[in-house]
Structure 1
């Protein structure tokens, strides 16, 4: 009770703080670099990092504006966390701000995955790297669990939203319902509720709605307009420019190298993937792995999991694992190029055709979404989708926990239920011990993300070095 009173007082004090001073793009640059450097843990952890830095610490955007942007990004194909950074960068500083925020969000992962791809190609599973991954996974698990709690507390305002989140989790975890169908169902429920005037689906409605979210203490509260307000004609021009930037290299490769070149195959395959990656990285990685291994022969069985380990334990979107796939594809079919050069170009090409569409979706769609912010039906749909996404993030957290602590999972089916259950004998005691220590450090000792990541990384390297992990 005392904690609740203290928290309530803190929230009221925050609500009366003056808004921060205006921020130039140059001043925002180091903050976006910090967001990028801390973007571990997949979409759940990355969204939590952005929320903590941009909403709670810097007070650049209000809770409502943050969730509105997140809701829209959830509807798009591609990595929602990178698109969220792009959206908020655009909101604050126009197209240049979106390019800086979205580009920097990808940069650390691009560099890290490229370096690890070189190590993998030259030395295989180096002991140091394997130990580093082992330790980082334990820390990332704690970050993901913290993210679920943070986002859930902010988004689940009232029993109806909790019920939507629970139904979403059951649907995707137990019944294998496709993510787009979950989003469509939640959006329809929220749209109809908002159109009927129900307060259940109003932004911020329900018990525990934040009094901070009154727009007074933020650079971009509920009333502020984006710095760049595009007309319909300008939006079409922007869409045309980004579509050309995305597809021109693809067409050039097809014309110059032919459709059978590994670079043409990479460009076409991952361009198609960029248009259908609804539901985040996990929803599409099984398809990518199947095509890359069985159809194209770019990877050997099991190598996709090695790439996923790289992406899970380095900053940036999990979909960056596709860069590893593109690297190995070109490395193993270099043509007249040196293998490492071909691999590097293949990885960069994959990254370009994967993320260029993300800028297209945001720069073409954000102006319209901002103009419709006051629409009750749309607000209801987006609020309901946010609640459903909490359930999806919880599903990712459980998936990640099972794959971190157990070496083997067994698929079980019973009627409509489809679930992967852990094999008890495959429990990794050191992984469990490290994950438990990371949870204690995060929730009990409040050590923060970087110290926890560093400590678990060192522990993983030591355990692997002595042969215990």
Structure 2
């Protein structure tokens, strides 16, 4: 089969069905979601080579916002232009938005019912195992020499022992990669980028596949993307200001989550403290307990973890009767949609505007070395996240509280299923949820 026919073999509707499926199975937070995309797109379908996949991922790691959703947008754009990027990014978010609106309504209407609690009880240990598994998968592909291992270890120590900010870790890793590559370029050439063809066979978008015309950088195209994105941000904000006024909760939600989307780096767990401080302590849209419960809902639904902001918007709109006592659900749903729009719109801007620049650099070591170093650092950060999950799942009341042996059994069983039997994330989540439900109903 020649190159021309190979490229055509990824039809738009093939990709559409995959992105739709991904929106419903993307559990496990960013680490789990990236692992799912790697398994599906690089290993199984061979739509994109590991070198191109990792290059895109490294760029997304630099950005504020949900890196897994941005990675899906990037790959969708690379395959099928702007419409492909929009479809991939929107379908990554949309199912989880609808699910979270429904769960938020059940939560606030019926409280902590045993069925929901049981499902959460089973899913949380499974998510812990998925993050550990994803750390291994990404690390085994990325840490190809002792120097990259050292970066990962230092990043882990920095965030675990010293609580270093994620943006600082990313910046130092990038600088380390850039300056080290000038003297020791071989450290960044014997990495995952070199072994992709040997590991998984030839990909449709392979290491040496020419950059498609739509992915070439043009100033006119950049200006067009920025202008349209500015309109899509400004017109809704202006409309909310005109209809409700600046101090209304809906307008303030739009403004607050604009800042959250632009000023916080490091994925959902870097954004959440900022959201907690503003939504709970300053605006009082919800209580501290509700915020924690919302995080559990976000962890237990597919899609990006930062979709928990939709819970914040729903509870704020619903509990404050922003559209009157007779329209509480509508008020909550509108709040969820508003905060989701203003949180995610910039993710599309960053990819559609910045990806053409990044695509032009995937064979230049002065660009790839900093990004490779960032990936190594991120492995250490994800491992810290896995330990964080494990601690809160196994000792939910702290080390002074009881050890949850049943959760530990679910964690170990899920790890065996993932590592030894190569079970899918969706199956592990489903079986774990069922186990948790049975345990809670019986005991």
Instruction: Give the TM interval when normalised to the shorter protein.
Output: over 0.9
Which residue of structure 1 aligns with residue 442 of structure 2?
Answer: 466
Q: What SS is found at the alignment partner of 2:336?
A: helix
Which residue of structure 2 aligns with residue 403 of structure 1?
Answer: 392
Which residue of structure 2 aligns with residue 116 of structure 1?
Answer: 103
Cα deviation code 1:29-50 (max 9, x no counterpart)? 1111222222111111000000
Which residue of structure 2 aligns with residue 55 of structure 1?
Answer: 42
> Following the alignment from structure 1 to structure 2, what is the Cα–Cα distance between the partners of residues 116 and 22?
39
> Following the alignment from structure 2 to structure 1, what is the Cα–Cα distance between the partners of residues 64 and 377?
17
Q: What SS is found at the alignment partner of 1:284?
A: helix
In structure 2, runs of 5+ residues without a counterpart are none
Which residue of structure 1 aligns with residue 229 of structure 2?
Answer: 242
Q: What SS is found at the alignment partner of 1:374?
A: coil
How many residues in Structure 1 have an aligned counterpart in Structure 2? 435
> Following the alignment from structure 1 to structure 2, what is the Cα–Cα distance between the partners of residues 437 and 371?
44
Asked if the contact 1:243/1:360 (under 8 Å) is kept, the reply is no
Which residue of structure 1 aligns with residue 406 of structure 2?
Answer: 430
Cα deviation code 1:310-353 (max 9, x no counterpart)? 11111001100000001111112223441111000000111111
Asked if the contact 2:395/2:404 (under 8 Å) is kept, the reply is yes
Asked if the contact 1:139/1:453 (under 8 Å) is kept, the reply is yes
Instruction: With the length of structure 2 as denominator, give the TM-score of the two structures.
Output: 0.94
Q: How does 1:181-260 map to 2 (within 5 A)?
A: 181-196=168-183, 198-202=185-189, 205-206=190-191, 210=195, 212=197, 217-224=202-209, 225-226=211-212, 228-229=214-215, 230-260=217-247
Which residue of structure 2 aligns with residue 133 of structure 1?
Answer: 120
* Counterpart selection for 2:260 from 273, 290, 296: 273
How many Å apart are 1:361 and its aligned residue? 0.5
How many Å apart are 1:379 and its aligned residue? 1.0
How many Å apart are 1:431 and its aligned residue? 1.5
* Counterpart selection for 2:329 from 340, 349, 360: 340
Structure ranking higher in helix proportion: 2
Which residue of structure 2 aligns with residue 67 of structure 1?
Answer: 54
> Following the alignment from structure 2 to structure 1, what is the Cα–Cα distance between the partners of residues 218 and 383?
38
How many Å apart are 1:246 and its aligned residue? 2.1
Which residue of structure 1 aligns with residue 11 of structure 2?
Answer: 24
RMSD: 1.9
> Following the alignment from structure 1 to structure 2, what is the Cα–Cα distance between the partners of residues 227 and 315?
33
How many Å apart are 1:371 and its aligned residue? 1.5
How many Å apart are 1:244 and its aligned residue? 1.5
In structure 1, runs of 5+ residues without a counterpart are 1-17, 410-422
Q: What SS is found at the alignment partner of 2:27?
A: coil
Q: 1:227 and 1:102, CA in 2 relative to 1: closer, same or farther beyond 3 A? A: farther
Cα deviation code 1:232-290 (max 9, x no counterpart)? 11111111101221232112212321111110111110111000220111112122112
How many Å apart are 1:442 and its aligned residue? 2.2
Q: 1:442 and 1:20, CA in 2 relative to 1: closer, same or farther beyond 3 A? A: farther
> Following the alignment from structure 2 to structure 1, what is the Cα–Cα distance between the partners of residues 405 and 369?
45
Structure 1 range deviating more: 434-443 or 156-165? 434-443
Structure 1 range deviating more: 212-221 or 188-197? 212-221
How many Å apart are 1:307 and its aligned residue? 0.6
How many Å apart are 1:451 and its aligned residue? 2.5
